[in-house]
């Protein structure tokens, strides 16, 4: 049985990349490091949310969004394929860090530049595309420790974990 594929700019990608629910690839890892009370920012659909996380999504009717979180600090923030949709990913990520308790965890799952369709000039829903070096630089500048940045996976994405100072 052949693998379902999609084509973009002369390259082939596995078809599941165009179907949403990217979090299915990062949730197995996130459950090991996202403990306590936390947010899943930009989960999109309830069945795609990190189990036990409080869902934060502009479309869920709660009034909360990536740039408007509840005031209390949490033990972790988890976000899968959301940061590329905000107007200014640097300001948004700095804002998220302010909402994590000391020694709390940030867990990001982000699209990689290697997937041509996800580049902002090809997919207008994406306002930016970050690379691991940019994420590392910002998190180190903010004093985060225990940074782990994965390589690119079969979903043409990468994971980031960091601990707040």
Look at residue 108 and tell me if it is in a domain.
yes
Look at residue 83 and tell me if it is in a domain.
yes
Max Cα distance, the chain (Å): 50
Look at residue 124 and tell me if it is in a domain.
yes
Residue 7: per-residue pLDDT: 83
Look at residue 5 and tell me if it is in a domain.
no
Tell me the per-residue pLDDT of 102-122, one tens digit each, with 9 for 90 and over.
999 999 999 999 999 889 999
Q: Which residues contact 32 (CB under 8 A, 6 or more apart)?
A: none
Tell me the per-residue pLDDT of 151-161, one tens digit each, with 9 for 90 and over.
999 899 999 99
Look at residue 10 and tell me if it is in a domain.
no
Look at residue 17 and tell me if it is in a domain.
no
Q: Is the pTM of this model over 0.85?
A: yes
**CATH number assigned to the domain comprising residue 151:** 3.40.50.150
Tell me the per-residue pLDDT of 28-73, one tens digit each, with 9 for 90 and over.
999 999 999 999 999 999 999 999 999 999 888 889 999 999 999 9
Q: Which has more confidence, 20 or 75?
A: 75
Look at residue 57 and tell me if it is in a domain.
yes
Residue 1: per-residue pLDDT: 64
Query: Which residue shows structure tokens 């408007």?
Result: 68
Residue 21: per-residue pLDDT: 87
Total domain count, the chain: 1
Look at residue 58 and tell me if it is in a domain.
yes
| Segments forming the whole domain that contains residue 29 | 22-163
Cα four-point dihedral sign 67, 69, 73, 76: negative
């Amino acid at each position: 049985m052949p693998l379902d594929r999609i084509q973009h700019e002369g390259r082939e990608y596995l078809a599941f990349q165009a179907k949403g629910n990217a979090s299915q690839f990062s949730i197995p890892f996130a459950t090991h490091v996202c403990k306590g009370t936390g947010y899943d920012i930009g989960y999109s659909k309830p069945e795609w949310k990190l189990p036990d996380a409080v869902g934060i999504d502009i479309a869920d009717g709660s009034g909360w969004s990536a740039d408007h979180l509840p005031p209390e600090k949490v033990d972790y923030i988890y976000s899968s394929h959301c940061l590329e949709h905000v107007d200014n990913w640097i300001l948004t990520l700095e804002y998220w860090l302010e909402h994590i308790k000391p020694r709390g965890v940030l867990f990001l799952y982000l699209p990689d530049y290697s997937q041509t369709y996800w580049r902002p000039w090809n997919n207008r829903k994406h306002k930016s595309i970050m690379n691991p070096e940019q994420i590392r630089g910002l998190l180190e500048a903010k004093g985060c420790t225990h940074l782990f940045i994965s390589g690119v996976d079969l979903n043409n994405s990468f994971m980031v974990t960091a601990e707040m100072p």
